[in-house]
């Protein structure tokens, strides 16, 4: 059976189980018991795969747009939520910029534009990153401030605890972004650990002669997520990027915003 046929069959089952037509959709408490073919995380993976290969994405985006909001309760653990929303973020970035690369000329508008339809709600990339994955953090506050009035949708679907490793998994289309991988709840911690290690070892620059370590710009933008500079040094020591007894000054590198799509992690 070809992958395309297999995906189509799985999508058919998913449509039957997740579409919100009241007279056809089974009660939600039955979905987790009967939907053995495809979970929401798997749908997000299939969407990302289609984005990578250039296959049509309409079937997947239609499912995600039209699921009942209650179906998102399938994402019960933080691992499920992180895997789903990271895949959604990365997939939609690729899909949108593949079709309309000119959007990147105004990045603030691009990140704020509500172009992601999930369960009847229109979300932006900023909504996915800062509201759901960063647990209602204000974007330009270095990670120190929370949104005072998060929406009901946000409170129901955000993670319970912010995980700073997501910053090494999200790809916004820029050359300085980490590569894209297919995330899943099982073994997610190990996946994020690997993504963190690979990205930091590739991007950090230890200059012992000046007692300076250069680190990615994203660590400066969201420094509270990382626990501040002392915690950053501890992390860099664990990564064996700086010596255990050192205490270098931290410098944040410039971010390369050149558009760079199809930056997928090698299998």
Taking alpha carbons only, the member of 103, 180, 166, 104 closest to residue 130 is: 166
Q: What's residue 247's pLDDT?
A: 97
pLDDT, average across residues 81-96: 98
Per-residue pLDDT reduced to its tens digit, 109-133: 999 999 999 999 999 999 999 999 9
What pLDDT band is residue 27 in, cutting at 50, 70 and 90? Answer: very low
Instruction: Report the range of poorest mean pLDDT among 29-33, 93-97, 220-224, 247-251.
Output: 29-33
40-53 and 58-66 helices, crossing angle to 10°? 150
- Strands across the sheet containing 205-207: 205-207, 212-215, 249-252
Residue 222 tokens read as 């969201």
Q: What's residue 17's pLDDT?
A: 39
Region at 259 (left for phi over 0; alpha for psi -120 to 50; beta for the rest): beta
Q: What's residue 37's pLDDT?
A: 65
Q: What's residue 266's pLDDT?
A: 72
Residue 230 tokens read as 């002392």
- Mean residue pLDDT of the chain comes to 88
Q: What's residue 267's pLDDT?
A: 56
pLDDT, average across residues 96-110: 97
Q: How far apart are CA 32 and CA 105, in angstroms?
A: 42
Backbone phi and psi for residue 266, each to the nearest 5 degrees, phi listed first: -65, 140
Per-residue pLDDT reduced to its tens digit, 132-160: 999 999 999 999 999 999 999 999 999 99
pTM of the predicted structure, to 2 decimals? 0.87
């Amino acid at each position: 059976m070809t992958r395309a046929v297999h995906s189509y069959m799985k999508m058919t089952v998913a449509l039957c189980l997740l579409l919100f037509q009241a007279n056809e959709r089974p009660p939600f408490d039955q979905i987790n018991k009967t939907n053995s073919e495809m979970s929401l995380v798997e749908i997000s993976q299939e969407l990302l795969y289609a984005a990578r290969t250039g296959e049509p994405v309409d079937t997947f985006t239609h499912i995600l747009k039209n699921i009942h909001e209650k179906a998102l309760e399938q994402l019960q653990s933080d691992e499920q939520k992180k895997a789903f929303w990271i895949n959604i973020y990365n997939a939609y970035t690729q899909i949108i910029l593949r079709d309309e690369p000119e959007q990147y000329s105004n990045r603030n508008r691009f990140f704020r534009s509500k172009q992601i339809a999930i369960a009847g709600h229109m979300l932006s990339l900023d909504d996915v990153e800062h509201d759901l994955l960063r647990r209602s953090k204000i974007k330009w506050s270095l990670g120190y401030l929370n949104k005072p009035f998060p929406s009901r949708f946000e409170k129901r679907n955000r993670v319970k605890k912010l995980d700073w490793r997501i910053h090494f998994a999200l790809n916004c289309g820029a050359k300085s972004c980490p590569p894209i991988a297919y995330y899943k709840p099982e073994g997610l911690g190990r996946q994020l650990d690997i993504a963190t290690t690979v990205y930091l070892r590739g991007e950090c620059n230890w200059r012992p002669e000046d007692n300076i370590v250069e680190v990615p710009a994203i660590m400066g933008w969201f420094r509270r997520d990382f626990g501040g500079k002392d915690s950053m040094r501890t992390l860099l020591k664990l990564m064996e990027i700086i010596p255990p007894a050192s205490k270098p000054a931290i410098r944040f590198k410039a971010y390369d915003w050149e558009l760079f799509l199809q930056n997928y992690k090698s299998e």
